[in-house]
Amino acid sequence: MAEQAGWSTRRVETGNGLTFNVAEQGDAGGRAVLLLHGFPQTHRCYDALAQRLVPHGLRLLAPDQRGYSPGARPVEVEAYSIDELAGDAARILDAYGIEQADVVGHDWGAVVGWALAATRPERVRTLTAVSVPHPRAMGAALADESSGQRERSAYIQLFRQPGKAEDVLLEDDAARLRAVFEPLPQSAAEPHVRALSDPATLTAALNWYRAMRAEVSAALPPVSVPTTYVWSSGDIAIGRAAAELCAGQVTGPYRFVELDGISHWIPDQAPDALAAAVLERLG
């Protein structure tokens, strides 16, 4: 088990032929919190948040998700559907013998959290979704030309192009990939750039975008578990329309936390505010 930034990492088999690298931190007997990262990051995006949650006696589990873990990297694009990704989260909990966890997800990790809570609510005690709203809220914003969300999401067209996206992101010592992390310092981006600079890892990560299907997102039901959605007015990828439409996709207790001027990288840039939101949701 390797130690890094306070994490202990172990290989976890999920019974479907995949083996995930799962980083652990905190009290092994504590309340389980499942931390789900997004693109183009790894579990290391939660370094700062973990420092703030561990003193509260919590058990943190942060997997490098499908495609990011070398032992969980199917070749087929279809293997990266949202149902498969949510299934991974449930199977990781199964492997630990955990019936129910508090789930925190950022970016694509938020999408996995929404899907897990919507389709397997018995596995999710609470959900804290960061930056990205419920997929149906996102779809509604994309359908509204006046929202500006289509322009904000235009980069996805590149990410869905096999080969070209990899070339663009990795050329010139991964300059475009590094630029994605602005305004974070390079020290914060480096663990992720190092991991995603491997072409196989990057292709697998981009397959999340390539497996996207609008009809699947549109069919995802509302979430009934207690939910907090954290969004920032400085997010260049997610506009206010999508953020505010999120409330209509939660039938359980709901809180919308708006941060002012923070970028898309909330866990890195505003860990104190995020920790406060998570702890309040956990009660």
pLDDT at residue number 274: 98
**Which pLDDT score, from 0 to 100, does residue 27 have?**
96
How does pLDDT run across 167-202, given as a tens digit for each residue? 999 999 999 999 999 999 999 999 999 999 999 999
pLDDT in tens, 237-279: 999 999 999 999 999 999 999 999 999 999 999 999 999 999 9
Q: Is the pLDDT of residue 1 over 60?
A: no
Please state, for a pLDDT cut of 70, what percent of the chain lies above it. Answer: 99
DSSP-assigned states of every residue in the chain: -EEETTEEEEEEE-SSS-EEEEEEEE-TTS-EEEEE--TT--GGGGHHHHHHHGGGT-EEEEE--BTTBTTS--SSGGGG-HHHHHHHHHHHHHHHT-S-EEEEEETHHHHHHHHHHHH-GGGEEEEEEESS--HHHHHHHHH-GGG-HHHHTTHHHHHTSTTHHHHHHHHHHHHHHHHTTTTS-HHHHHHHHHHHTSHHHHHHHHHHHHT--HHHHHHPPPB-S-EEEEEETT-SSS-HHHHHHGGGGB-SSEEEEEESS--S-HHHH-HHHHHHHHHHHH-
* pLDDT above 50 for 95: yes
pLDDT for res 3: 52
Mean pLDDT score of the chain, rounded to an integer?
96
Question: Could you tell me the pLDDT band of residue 4, with boundaries at 50, 70 and 90?
Answer: confident
Does residue 68 carry a pLDDT above 80?
yes
- CA 77 to CA 84: how far, in whole Å? 11
pLDDT score of 64 more than 80: yes
Largest CA distance in the chain: 50
pLDDT at 227 over 80: yes
Q: What's the pLDDT tens digit per position in 113-160? A: 999 999 999 999 999 999 999 999 999 999 999 999 999 999 999 999
pLDDT score at 118: 98
Is the model's pLDDT at 38 over the cut of 70?
A: yes
pLDDT score for 265 = 98
